[in-house]
Amino acid sequence: MDRPHPMLEDVELGIKPFAAANMHETIQARLMQFISDRQLAAGDRLPSQAALAQALGISLVALREAMRALEALGIIEARAGSGWYVRDFSFDAVAKGLAYTFELNRHSFTDLLEIRIRLECSYLPEALRKLTAEDLEALEQSVCEIERLAESGQEFDAPDRAFHMRLFSGKVQNRLFTEVLELFWTLYPRLPVPPERIQRAVLLADAHRHRLILQAVQESNVESAVQRLLDSLQGAVRRASGLAHPAEK
């Protein structure tokens, strides 16, 4: 007895085909379900586009549109000459959209800052236990650069970012926390700068708060370090809200 030859690769891939070739959201959902069902992890290669298109019963054009949409969401990525892969988790794909949203609504960015405050202050004791002499030297260099720029009336986003990322990167086991910090620092430079934030007195006051954080860190004074970090980040919330601290006016 002749057995039917499995011409469609959906038998192998386990994807149910459907007739409508223009159902882009449905195609995306099927692809994500395939990734989930096969328990594919970051770095795993997807089947060829030809195999996926045949399994789904759609055109290559429809498949490519769906895959590009998933790429924009940060779920998969194309590697030149190699194919499509499951992408490692990252907030990069949503950062641009969030930046636009925060430009329209500064309160949303203030909410993100509040989350950042709670996370950094909660994780600082854990991070301090793992700081090395090399970390302390790098933190000192960042603070010196912050002070130099503040003295000349310049913004210091780059050394500020370096300071906070050095405090926590590789020191906290929660990887999502580091991603949240990266998201904040991706968005922060894109936001409108409140006029009071670029006043030299405000910049110097913020630079001094960073120096106080570093001093507490160098002294291994956890309680003081947390309080000084809180003071510094609350100043950022006031500026993001368009409100300068009375002492800085």
d(Cα 14, Cα 36) in Å, to the nearest integer?
12
Q: Which residue has the higher pLDDT, 221 or 19?
A: 221
Q: Final residue of a domain: which of 86, 106, 133?
A: 86
Within-domain flag for 184: yes
End position of a domain, from candidates 56, 71, 86: 86
Q: For position 27, which CATH number holds?
A: 1.10.10.10
Q: Considering its fold, how many domains does the chain have in total?
A: 2
Per-residue pLDDT, averaged over 175-186, amounts to: 80
Per-residue pLDDT of 219-235, as tens digits, reads: 999 999 999 999 998 87
Pair (65, 106) in one structural domain: no
Q: pLDDT, tens digit, for every residue of 148-170?
A: 999 999 989 899 999 999 999 88
Give the structural domain span for 14.
Answer: 10-86
Mark whether 189 and 224 lie in a shared domain.
Answer: yes
Same domain, 174 and 80: no
- DSSP string for residues in 99-134: HHHHHH-HHHHHHHHHHHHHHHHHHHHHHHTT--HH
The answer on pLDDT for 11 being more than 60 is no
pTM: 0.62
